Structure 1
């Protein structure tokens, strides 16, 4: 029987034995979890034993596509990269753009699973059904961009390359994986998992395709959907400015963090806003199958990057009390080459700045010191001096040195750049996220700040709101659709239509919603098995004790503990978990 949308094949690579094998995809898992995010977590739950060392030989690295990957469906070119997180001890899945997901699919695989630990640094080359292993000793120690340039020169541009920098090699909790130079699987120390396996890079080339039931009808319908749903006037900002446009929108809502989340706005934000940054744009790029093209190449002085994204601007700019656009671009560039996540790296440095200024511990850096911030990135990646401790993140460092109240993290993962006192639903979203503080699980500012459909400074209705946002994103990311297809949020019928077009199966809107709920639950089940419960669904004391400073609509706000507890209770109730955030055994069994 022909299976459409899926390749029905998993490539399993044993790095210790330098062997590769294939097996059929667990289609029973795919029926319940679709692909990408959901499918990866389901495989993790099945294959990773509780209590394993995230940096040990029993952890695995999962690269997972979705059924839409490799088709003309717009915004479907992403890839899920998943493993148990060394930063948090939770499950961790990241999304990475570029072309690597499509090339995996064209090589004939739905998923690649890396197992074991190589005895020496290596890189892996995959071309369709051919898998080869090579010594990477000469690449070890290189920056990610530098290593990718060497490999691209050797193998050509028909391959997608995923690589790590010194951050991954040194097993930093903020290490990321780069692909196509400027795209990252960024969070939770996913690059450290790759580094622990002594794998510097993987190159992937595919010469096949993806079967759909009716290529002509599918293509025609997808073109209709592209114009009806994606290429809309409301989405032009994605092409024009990318996420730099968020700076103004978030600033208007008072949720841009300033000085380590002590204020909600930077009065000098116009020095580095999207309009300023776009003056330095030298090129554009989009991921495979993208109809929008959010990527902007910027060059200021000797600093160059693709981006910077809103998160990077906010953490290297206002949160660090720095207004120089060249510094922001340079911070982005150095983080990428060193192979560390801009969010966690920036937040950790910003915390160190506050520690120094408060006289709690002198990390040798203060707010506004741009040059030292760039130097600190390299120290963190290479674990030199104070960088060795800082590379483990703010949770570890604050427990060692003090400053836990303003260590902006949940479960060991540092905050994205949205001030929760200006969006209380964001506080709940950070707290209940399965991988630690994450804005991609449920993006509350959409409802509370931008659309202003729900009052931001109240606990009322927030459990239901976050639940609905989380379910929608869980489906979208299991299809492996980019977040910039904004009109897809809550549009389960459209998502079901895409599945019908590509797989030929009779998916309904209700089916899609059920998948989303299942994906949330399987992530929670994984974490529950690792010992996580309500005690870990917390927020930093700064948000509860300190009123937000500065000016703007959220100034003076704080989140009372009873309000936060109320939101948490609401969320647990709608999810069917108990007051301690625990899933009943019958619920766990029902999703397996």
Structure 2
């Protein structure tokens, strides 16, 4: 089996570190990573606690396929109660950190309490130590990783850390690993900062900690699955060439690209910040923004972007630390920093993306919050005197400056660091926060894509595109083409997608594989890896169990069915132009059916029969 069957428990308050056996009964119910760590969190914390209190726990988790030969088997997750939303938070990352943790012999690390002073956790195979991080506090993610590798004389060490955003408890602070991969959403970095934990550094060389139950069967299943990825137009061609940025012009043409804080659904500057634009040579230096693509551990897709800025651009002209190559913008970041603010300067977006990686911030919430601030400014509600600068929508300079202030925790950047829900409430216009449960929308407008509207409203971690991804059937025609304008059939399809996504996240592989893989492809690898009975029906029920476990946590935390809604703008303001002109998000037609197919009451509460059936 491919669990290591070991958990590392670290009490930051007392400094105690101990090893525990993995609860295998829970592992067979929840698989690993997202599902299994959520089970541990639910069992161990009061759902009503303050997310930034020492009583909250931060769980770093791998899946049973993490660190194996399975394509994209490099995923790991951070599970906690999120400070941005007050709901369950599970933030997923790639890179090489997750596999290294598995190589060190651990399925999971549970972090409790709060250290008196800044510390970092060093994991060298089965030995874990808490060490002083006072010299690292106040330093960037990039500096922290370089310092730790140099100090321990190990360039192969993998580091996950927070920047100043996490230290300052920016409510959308991220945990960044491998310099530019991130557990990005819901403020998991703020929780890490609240615990005075600067970084986790891992080196693993254990090779016999785990192995597939059926090595030959697993090897064949993996080879077959990789062939499917290579032959698919999205995973074999589109994503390697353009990354997720392949979607910028596609979604804009559909008429579902949220623009200027969702005031519009098409952006006239989309092409200038697209994946295609990243390939074009700049007139200033004759070089392209994109240098190459990059892959996470075990990935055959390689959708990552490595970019290099124009050294003469105003954002970095006198900042040589940004003149090298690093993680370039992906679709969500390019949208949030660009179209959401009416900004079409690709170099500025790339600089702020570098900044988000360097200081540990979620670019989606950052950009969407700046977009809300710009609308407040346009309306005369937020003044130049309060903000400290002029903030008209479309201002490249304002977008950059606010991002820098937020990263530094200075001036109006401290307000931006609270997210759009708190910002807009502060100025008496909560309706201008384009968020669900306090988490900002990603790059799809629910008026143009009805299935995405339902997905946003019902996501357990607030507005999210990777808890079902109804863009697949509504735009890409995967696994079947659905009319984006209709509400028919969206509820049952979304439930299936949500349950399957929970399986993917719990297994330790990447969601992007599902552009090519269906449930049978995933099951074909899990079965020989783990042995026993892992039928597709059982896996889908497991995904449903994970979804309901998260839902019940949120209900216990104080959320209700009334939180399964969208901003008034999407429900009441028809799209102004483009292919989706005149449309609104018809959530009211879909939500009752969704509750029904989920086995929930009309108020959105799992029924006793559902709870019993799923063993919750």
Matched, 1:93 2:93: no
What secondary structure is seen at the aligned counterpart in 2 of 1:131?
strand
State which of 499, 503, 509 in structure 2 corresponds to 1:471: 499
Partner Cα separation in structure 1 for residue 156 and residue 458 of structure 2 = 40
The alpha-carbon deviation at position 481 of structure 1 amounts to: 1.5
Partner Cα separation in structure 1 for residue 202 and residue 173 of structure 2 = 21
State which of 453, 458, 461 in structure 2 corresponds to 1:427: 453
Q: Which residue of 2 aligns with 1:211?
A: 211
What secondary structure is seen at the aligned counterpart in 2 of 1:524?
helix
State which of 101, 104, 108 in structure 1 corresponds to 2:105: 108
State TM-score, norm by structure 1. 0.96
Which digits, 9 at most, give the CA deviation of each residue in 1:427-480, with x for residues without a partner?
A: 111111101000111211211222282222233222112111111111111112
The alpha-carbon deviation at position 231 of structure 1 amounts to: 4.7
Contact 1:253 1:450 in 2 (8 A): no
Q: Which residue of 2 aligns with 1:32?
A: 29
Partner Cα separation in structure 1 for residue 583 and residue 605 of structure 2 = 31
How many residue pairs get aligned? The number is: 584
Runs of 4+ in 1 over 6 A off after TM superposition: none
Structure 1 segment 565-580 matched on structure 2, within 5 A? 565-580=588-603
Matched, 1:238 2:239: yes
Which stretch shows the higher mean deviation, 150-159 or 95-104? 150-159
Matched, 1:178 2:176: yes
The alpha-carbon deviation at position 96 of structure 1 amounts to: 0.6
The alpha-carbon deviation at position 154 of structure 1 amounts to: 2.1
Q: Which residue of 1 aligns with 2:377?
A: 356
Which stretch shows the higher mean deviation, 383-392 or 127-136? 383-392
The alpha-carbon deviation at position 113 of structure 1 amounts to: 0.6
What secondary structure is seen at the aligned counterpart in 1 of 2:548?
helix
Matched, 1:310 2:331: yes
Q: Which residue of 2 aligns with 1:516?
A: 543
Q: Which residue of 2 aligns with 1:274?
A: 275
What secondary structure is seen at the aligned counterpart in 2 of 1:392?
coil
Which stretch shows the higher mean deviation, 171-180 or 290-299? 290-299
Q: Which residue of 2 aligns with 1:190?
A: 188
Which digits, 9 at most, give the CA deviation of each residue in 1:231-287, with x for residues without a partner?
A: 534421111111110112212211111111111111232222212212322233211
The alpha-carbon deviation at position 500 of structure 1 amounts to: 1.4
Q: Which residue of 2 aligns with 1:542?
A: 569
Contact 1:488 1:494 in 2 (8 A): no
Contact 1:522 1:588 in 2 (8 A): no
Which stretch shows the higher mean deviation, 377-386 or 28-37? 377-386
Which stretch shows the higher mean deviation, 264-273 or 307-316? 264-273
Q: Which residue of 1 aligns with 2:69?
A: 72
Contact 2:290 2:328 in 1 (8 A): no
Structure 1 segment 523-538 matched on structure 2, within 5 A? 523-538=550-565
Which digits, 9 at most, give the CA deviation of each residue in 1:485-516, with x for residues without a partner?
A: 12465x32222221111112221111111111
What secondary structure is seen at the aligned counterpart in 1 of 2:511?
coil
State which of 413, 419, 428 in structure 1 corresponds to 2:439: 413
Contact 1:395 1:407 in 2 (8 A): yes
Matched, 1:582 2:605: yes
Cα pair distance change 1:157/1:283, threshold 3 Å:
farther
Matched, 1:480 2:504: no
The alpha-carbon deviation at position 230 of structure 1 amounts to: 4.5
State TM-score, norm by structure 2. 0.92
What secondary structure is seen at the aligned counterpart in 1 of 2:80?
strand
What secondary structure is seen at the aligned counterpart in 2 of 1:591?
coil
Matched, 1:369 2:366: no
Q: Which residue of 2 aligns with 1:150?
A: 147
Which digits, 9 at most, give the CA deviation of each residue in 1:41-97, with x for residues without a partner?
A: 111111112311111111111111111111101011100111000111111101010
The alpha-carbon deviation at position 110 of structure 1 amounts to: 0.7
Contact 1:522 1:591 in 2 (8 A): no
Q: Which residue of 2 aligns with 1:398?
A: 424
The alpha-carbon deviation at position 585 of structure 1 amounts to: 4.2
Matched, 1:296 2:305: yes
Contact 2:57 2:110 in 1 (8 A): yes
The alpha-carbon deviation at position 220 of structure 1 amounts to: 3.7
Q: Which residue of 2 aligns with 1:16?
A: 13
Which stretch shows the higher mean deviation, 154-163 or 190-199? 154-163
Contact 1:497 1:507 in 2 (8 A): no
Matched, 1:253 2:251: no
Partner Cα separation in structure 1 for residue 515 and residue 271 of structure 2 = 29
Q: Which residue of 2 aligns with 1:456?
A: 484
Contact 1:34 1:478 in 2 (8 A): yes
Q: Which residue of 1 aligns with 2:224?
A: 224
What CA RMSD, in Å, does the superposition of the two structures yield over aligned residues? 1.6
Which stretch shows the higher mean deviation, 177-186 or 36-45? 36-45
Partner Cα separation in structure 1 for residue 515 and residue 530 of structure 2 = 22
Matched, 1:495 2:504: no
State which of 319, 333, 355 in structure 1 corresponds to 2:340: 319
Q: Which residue of 2 aligns with 1:284?
A: 293
